[in-house]
Structure 1
Amino acid sequence: MFDANAFPSRFLSGIGYREAGGAHAASLPVVLLHGIGSGAASWVQQLDALGATRRVLAWDAPGYGESAPVASASPQAADYADALRGWLDALDIERCVLVGHSLGAIIAGSFAAMHEKRVAGLLLLSPAGGYGAASEEERAQKRDSRLAMLAELGPQGLADQRSANMLSSNASDAARDWVRWNMARIVPQGYAQATHLLANADLASDVARYRGPVAVAVGTEDRITTPQACERIAQAAGVPLRLVEGAGHAGYIEQPDTYNALIGSFAQQETKA
């Protein structure tokens, strides 16, 4: 069910990624962006299922896996969006359906606001809103507490102590192990930069600027980006919030069939648009 070797890591334009569905190159690609404590391999169930009918790609964000970090120690969302643009250019992908989970939603939203014509549809799963609109005191507190936790625990310690928060109480042991495996492989420098990104970003502002199709979904058992927090993002996008019953933060890992159907349906709808 969870096999990192099923879709071997590739490397292009400074970005590591995994890909499925190459035989469906004529279809509109789906691009999957992971969250702060994860990586491209977390999407293996989506690569397997969705890759049967279309091209699907999952990147390791800058500073994750083998991907080169962004230049700034305290980056903005636009820095990651620029890296995404360069990678898509290298892949000759002019237009795609963009799916962002948690922190990946921040990058997806920034890219969509900057390059609207290249995004056929924007699907945000348990989106992290960022703290860019908060007070400087709150932004610093959120940033510094996460950086202190990283310094104290390291990747393996984070995985051991924090990975359970990503899932609902009903998640399988296999799902828990997979979340822990992915989290243990974060690169400290990349995670630190992503922590600054989270402090600097304002996803609501970006999705309000994007005029293409948007959907926002969250699990009812998400304790990290709660339904209440995700409602603000949905309102900024002008769309109803979709609730996935019983799913935690990493719902696409613990309820793959539900999320595969959600992503597939959204992508199919935007392909016809």
Structure 2
Amino acid sequence: MTETDSRLLEASLPPVAQVQLKLDTPGGKQTLAYREAGDKAAPPIVLLHGIGSNSAGYRAQLAALATHHRVIAWDAPGYGQSSPFAIATPGAADYAEAVMALMTALGLSRATVIGSSWGSVIAATFAAQYPDATHALVLSAPNVARAHLPLSERAAAREALMRSGAAQSPAARAAGVDALLASSSAPQVRALVSTLRDAVTPTGWEHAVDMLFSAYTPDIVASVEAPISIVIGSDDRIAPLSDHARPIHEAAPNSTLHVLDGIGHMPKLEAPGRFNAIVLAAAAAGNP
């Protein structure tokens, strides 16, 4: 990690703001929280976090990308200060609708959309559902999701994911953080990841897990019109290149694969400078 990377991870976070949304889902009134940085007239970038994170996980992007962009990082429904969905088992399309509703509420008709891990499923679904609203797409440590699993395997897969989000001993929590990061990751990064995971709510986690069984990312990206940049760490043990990023890249006709050597599942935190450079290039080269 460079000295610049370290400074980005220590940057002050913008305050949390909230908007009230009306979604098409039953009981669709939604309070959605977000953080914002940059000039409101600048080209927008929307940041969607992973299953064990929230808007604060994009601290380094809110600090750096705001020089040239309006940057919005959401708290997904059920995360941070956002209310959970009223429906029991929201799908990827429901989360994508919430992203579009947030953009509309903020006066954004089009944006570069960034999705990290679980958030990559939402980002890809958004780009497929709302092509005119997608300037470019960046999928970081992407996940193929679980809709391709046979029905006979889904209950066990869901239970395993639910257990990974349950309360754990300090040793188990530390092991979970270790699995997310490359062995060389700085203590500063480990502390941030641990804090983010501790903030996840049971309802937010359960809804997020169920969403994974509503989508299969390779099928989704095949129809995405916007250019896609895929970012993956060579040492990612949560979503290994061969099982996740590679099949997504092969299914997406308009995609570029970026493999970051020595990085784990959290490129935005482990190598924020390199990650931000990819995002800026994607935003500059997106669909006109």
Change in Cα spacing, 1:158 to 1:74, as seen in structure 2 (3 Å) is farther
Instruction: Name the amino acid aligned to 2:201.
Output: V
Instruction: Name the amino acid aligned to 1:111.
Output: F
Change in Cα spacing, 1:225 to 1:26, as seen in structure 2 (3 Å) is same
* Deviations 1:152-171, CA, capped at 9 Å, x for gaps: 539x8874441221110111
- Name 2:271's counterpart in structure 1: 255
- Name 1:171's counterpart in structure 2: 185
* Deviations 1:179-222, CA, capped at 9 Å, x for gaps: 11111101111011101111222111111111121111201011
Distance in 1 of aligned mates of 2:110 and 2:158: 33
8 Å Cα contact 1:139-1:200 kept in structure 2: no
Distance in 1 of aligned mates of 2:88 and 2:269: 30
1:240: how far off? 4.0
1:237 and 2:252 correspond: yes
Aligned runs of 1:151-162 on 2, under 5 Å? 151-153=166-168, 159-162=173-176
- Name 1:213's counterpart in structure 2: 227
Aligned-residue CA RMSD (Å) = 1.8
1:61: how far off? 0.7
Distance in 1 of aligned mates of 2:186 and 2:10: 16
TM-score (norm 1): 0.93
Give the secondary-structure state (helix, strand or coil) at the position aligned to 1:153.
coil
Pick which of 206-215 and 120-129 moved more: 206-215
- Name 2:37's counterpart in structure 1: 20
Which residue, 180, 183, 187 being the options, matches 2:201?
A: 187
- Name 1:223's counterpart in structure 2: 237
Distance in 2 of aligned mates of 1:168 and 1:113: 32
Distance in 1 of aligned mates of 2:256 and 2:157: 28
Which residue, 87, 97, 113 being the options, matches 2:128?
A: 113
8 Å Cα contact 1:159-1:181 kept in structure 2: no
- Name 2:68's counterpart in structure 1: 53
- The structure that is helix-richer by fraction is 1
Instruction: Give the unaligned 5+ runs of structure 1.
Output: none
- Name 2:146's counterpart in structure 1: 131
Distance in 2 of aligned mates of 1:199 and 1:158: 25
Count residues with an aligned counterpart: 269
1:3: how far off? 4.9
* Deviations 1:33-72, CA, capped at 9 Å, x for gaps: 0100111001111110111111111101111011111232
Instruction: Give the unaligned 5+ runs of structure 2.
Output: 1-6, 21-30
Instruction: Name the amino acid aligned to 1:252.
Output: K
Instruction: Name the amino acid aligned to 1:144.
Output: E
8 Å Cα contact 2:144-2:216 kept in structure 1: yes
Distance in 2 of aligned mates of 1:70 and 1:127: 23
Change in Cα spacing, 1:261 to 1:233, as seen in structure 2 (3 Å) is same
Which residue, 49, 57, 79 being the options, matches 1:64?
A: 79
Which residue, 91, 96, 99 being the options, matches 2:114?
A: 99
Distance in 2 of aligned mates of 1:188 and 1:30: 28
Change in Cα spacing, 1:108 to 1:115, as seen in structure 2 (3 Å) is same
8 Å Cα contact 2:147-2:216 kept in structure 1: yes
Distance in 1 of aligned mates of 2:275 and 2:269: 8
Pick which of 204-213 and 166-175 moved more: 204-213
Distance in 2 of aligned mates of 1:164 and 1:73: 32
Instruction: Name the amino acid aligned to 1:134.
Output: L
Identity %: 33
1:134: how far off? 1.3
Pick which of 74-83 and 138-147 moved more: 138-147
